[in-house]
Structure 1
Amino acid sequence: MTSKTKAFVGELIAECVAVFIIIVFGDSVAAMYSLYDPSPYKLAYWGVCIVWGLGVTTAIYVTGAVSGTHANPAVTLALACFRNFSWKKVIPYWVAQVVGGFLGAAIVYTLFSPVIDHYAAVHHLDRLHDGAGAGVFFTHPGDFVTPMHAFVDEIILTAMLLLGIFAITCEYNTQAPQANSGALIIGLLVAIIGASAGYLEAWAINPARDFGPRLFCFFAGWGGTALPSPQNYWWVPIAGPLIGGLVGAGLYQGLLKPFMPSQSRSTTTARD
């Protein structure tokens, strides 16, 4: 194995591990929120958002030095379009991210399966027909929200995510945090999105975060309630974030980056 190939394998492992970490923490707090009565989070929803955000922060600290921690197909696609990330790596990164989501869901299932079974029994539900406990693992439209409305929501919310990520990681942004604190700010950004709009459709904003656990649940007894899911919802948290990521990244690159002080000075110097 050449050093270049070895480095690429390391990147794929890191992407898998990053999403794995996010799902282990995020889906576990979703289980704490939805399966227990009284839930420790029902009157403290901000705590759920913080756990998801800190899961992202932890994933970045663990894997960032290896792969840059995209941990999200929407991020990978946006970086390929706007920041010269290799197109040859896009599909392998996506696969690694989905595998990480699948494995993370398997761990959460290992932890909470007795609680899921108890929840289903108490509420006279089953996985295959009623999707008992499905909200622990993957997203669905909230009250009064149709799949098409959720699709628009996911575009908007993921655009906000990528707008923030591109700003936080921009080398010309003099107000951006330094590298060691950038992970915390990105985690808080995820938490803010969840706290402000999470009830709409559980703020997937990441195709791997939804599809990896959804795929696991398909094989773990949820069947059609996972894939294709009621109203064929499965595609919404995939397509919406991919489109939204391009919108948010494009807005930053086109509307803000050209006016960053360092970028403006370098452009002026090159002209002179």
Structure 2
Amino acid sequence: MRRQSFCKGFADAGGHPRFCFLGLLLRQAERKSHVFGLSSVAQVVLGRGEFGQYLSINLGFGIGVTLGIHAAGGISGAHLNAAITITHCILGNLPWRKLPAYLLSQFLGSSLAAATIFGTYYGIVGNFMVTGPTATASIFSTYPHPCMSFDALSILVIHDEKNNGALKGTQALLTGILVLGIGLGMGMNTGYAINPSRDLPPRIFTAIAGWGVDVFTAGNYWWWIPVIAPTLGSLVGSLIYKLLIDFHNQSLLESGNEKGHLASLKHHWSKSKTLSETACPQAG
């Protein structure tokens, strides 16, 4: 009985009462989305460019996000990003009680992905440098370059059905292309510093695995930027979308519903009048 209650409570917190294994599914989706990205970084860094270039990293993360959404999109929405999940909670799209389950699954999945890549390439890593020409910590987390910036995500453009959103079968692919585009156009500054769930758990893992506290002190304690900045950027981007697009769509929808209601009343009145005249014909 207690186990049933626990499972139901965890499933409800995750957003789907029929799946007690939701946490596992979310974790596997998160792991799948990051394994492709982190492994592509590992090949480029460890192979010194012989087994891939920067484009390989972009494609790896894009493919990983696409597969992760396909794995869990129908159950949880497959946020795969703590910044997106927190933004949905702030905007009222997701109850706050579900936030811990989402974040826990995302963080565990990302940590498992880092452990998978570490185990796969353990014999090749060779050193535990955080910065410099032989650094390998960048395989798992992002580190600052001479300049940096952060970008708001445009997920709502793809998933908002009220604004000519993408067909459900294409949303995962288009989201993967979005991640690919961010990397191709704005990845030079910080790499893929757009996801706290992708950055913080692997950073903690690398600190434990041998890289030490340098993963947190590098770049003048830069580690907190990829945690806070994407969340703020996602919130600002979503608010801008709400103000400039979503509210406008709501007004058009309400206006259309009002016109439809008036037309329906007019039609009903005309029909009632016709029936009344037919039932009570005037004497000739």
Check conservation: 2:144, 2:219, Cα contact below 8 A: no
- SS state of the match for residue 201, structure 1? coil
The one-letter code of the counterpart of 2:9 is T
Partner of 2:272: none
Pairwise CA distance, 1:116: 0.7
The one-letter code of the counterpart of 2:46 is L
Q: 1:258 aligns with which of 247, 260, 274?
A: 247
Q: 1:28 aligns with which of 18, 39, 62?
A: 39
Percent of pairs identical after alignment?
30
Deviations 1:191-241 (Å, cap 9, x if unpaired)? 000011111111220001000110110110011122343411110000001
Partner of 1:123: none
Check conservation: 1:53, 1:187, Cα contact below 8 A: yes
Check conservation: 1:60, 1:68, Cα contact below 8 A: yes
- Taking a change above 3 Å as real, the CA distance of residues 35 and 171 of structure 1, as seen in their structure-2 partners, is same
Q: Distance in 2 between the 1:181 and 1:113 partners?
A: 37
- SS state of the match for residue 214, structure 1? helix
Pairwise CA distance, 1:47: 2.7
Q: Distance in 2 between the 1:88 and 1:38 partners?
A: 45
Pairwise CA distance, 1:77: 1.1
Q: Distance in 2 between the 1:108 and 1:35 partners?
A: 12
Deviates more, 1:78-87 or 1:193-202: 78-87
- SS state of the match for residue 63, structure 1? helix
Partner of 2:210: 221
Pair 1:5 & 2:9 matched: yes
Partner of 2:160: 170
Runs of 4+ in 1 over 6 A off after TM superposition: 128-131
Check conservation: 2:130, 2:138, Cα contact below 8 A: no
Deviations 1:78-100 (Å, cap 9, x if unpaired)? 11122520111113311221111
Check conservation: 2:131, 2:137, Cα contact below 8 A: no
Partner of 1:127: 129
TM (norm. structure 1) is 0.84
Q: Distance in 2 between the 1:259 and 1:12 partners?
A: 37
Q: How does 1:1-272 map to 2 (within 5 A)?
A: 1-2=4-5, 4-5=8-9, 7=11, 8=14, 9-42=20-53, 45-117=54-126, 120=127, 126-127=128-129, 132-142=135-145, 144-145=146-147, 150=148, 153-154=149-150, 157=151, 159=152, 161=153, 164-174=154-164, 176-260=165-249, 263-269=250-256
The one-letter code of the counterpart of 2:168 is A
- SS state of the match for residue 161, structure 2? coil
**Structure in which a larger fraction of residues adopt helix:** 1
Q: Distance in 1 between the 2:141 and 2:130 partners?
A: 15
Q: Distance in 2 between the 1:268 and 1:34 partners?
A: 56
Q: Distance in 1 between the 2:77 and 2:21 partners?
A: 11
The one-letter code of the counterpart of 2:79 is H
Q: Name the structure, 1 or 2, with higher relative contact order (CA <8 Å, separation 6+).
A: 1
Q: Distance in 1 between the 2:94 and 2:130 partners?
A: 41
Q: Distance in 2 between the 1:177 and 1:96 partners?
A: 27
TM (norm. structure 2) is 0.80
- Taking a change above 3 Å as real, the CA distance of residues 178 and 115 of structure 1, as seen in their structure-2 partners, is same
- SS state of the match for residue 12, structure 1? helix
The one-letter code of the counterpart of 2:206 is C
- Aligned Cα root-mean-square deviation (Å): 2.1
Pairwise CA distance, 1:59: 0.4
Q: Distance in 2 between the 1:265 and 1:231 partners?
A: 49
Deviations 1:45-69 (Å, cap 9, x if unpaired)? 2232111111000000011122110
The one-letter code of the counterpart of 1:168 is I
Pairwise CA distance, 1:128: 7.0
- SS state of the match for residue 127, structure 1? coil
| Greater Rg over alpha carbons, structure | 2
